[in-house]
Structure 1
């Protein structure tokens, strides 16, 4: 009786497994973000009989073109102009975002409005 020679089993190579794990680790490290996001308080408008206060109107056409009550406004002078609104207009600002306005532009304007002490910020779009 002759016995067949037993084939030696190859050892499982872990090199390719380690490569795959390393690539997955690298992918998830590069795909994740470790920055802390700032939140802005938003509230929905309630039903009411009309506004008692006339708001200041701010239009964001694009990142380089912003108007406050029809007058051009630069991002650098935004906080000073918001603080100088005064009277009843200083309490509320209505922000209209145009079709070419980026989300970051709207967030920058909202942040500047909150920092200047405005109590209410209304946001509207197209």
Structure 2
């Protein structure tokens, strides 16, 4: 019975693996951005539950069909009506987005509300 001589295996070189990991780390650090482009502060529906002042109710049905407290509203009238809400009813508005509304419609309304001086914006709906 003859035994085959054992072949010694080479140790796995980790130098190339470390190089690849370093290159990946460098790539992801250079390709990513850590700045915030724009943020809009808002409150959820649960956070507005204890408010003393009843919020104005803004509904977005579609990009062209909106109403504030049940009265139809166009995009051109929005800043003036939001300024009235900020002055008279307290600085709180609840925005409801319907199934036909897009995210861009909601962001546009939130931006207009902030520019008009409303302090708190509550987003609710679908």
TM over 0.5: yes
The reply on whether 1:91 has 2:91 as its aligned counterpart is yes
Instruction: Summarize deviations over 1:40-93 as a string: whole Å, max 9, x none.
Output: 123456668722011000000000000000000101110111001232x24100
The reply on whether 1:109 has 2:80 as its aligned counterpart is no
TM-score (norm 2): 0.63
Change in CA separation of 1:98 and 1:79 when aligned onto 2, cut-off 3 Å: same
Please list, as runs of the form range in 1=range in 2, the aligned pairs for 1:53-92 lying within 5 A after superposition.
53-85=53-85, 86-87=87-88, 89-92=89-92
Any unmatched runs of 5+ in structure 1?
A: 1-35
Counterpart CA distance in 2 for 1:76 and 1:60 is 15
Aligned to 1:40: 40
Counterpart CA distance in 2 for 1:84 and 1:48 is 20
Q: Provide the aligned length of Structure 1 versus Structure 2.
A: 90
Counterpart CA distance in 2 for 1:90 and 1:47 is 16
Aligned-residue CA RMSD (Å): 2.1
Aligned to 1:124: 124
Q: Which has the higher contact order (CA 8 A, sep 6+)?
A: 2
Alpha carbons 1:61, 1:99 under 8 Å: kept:
yes
Which secondary structure does the structure 1 equivalent of 2:76 belong to? helix
Alpha carbons 1:83, 1:90 under 8 Å: kept:
no
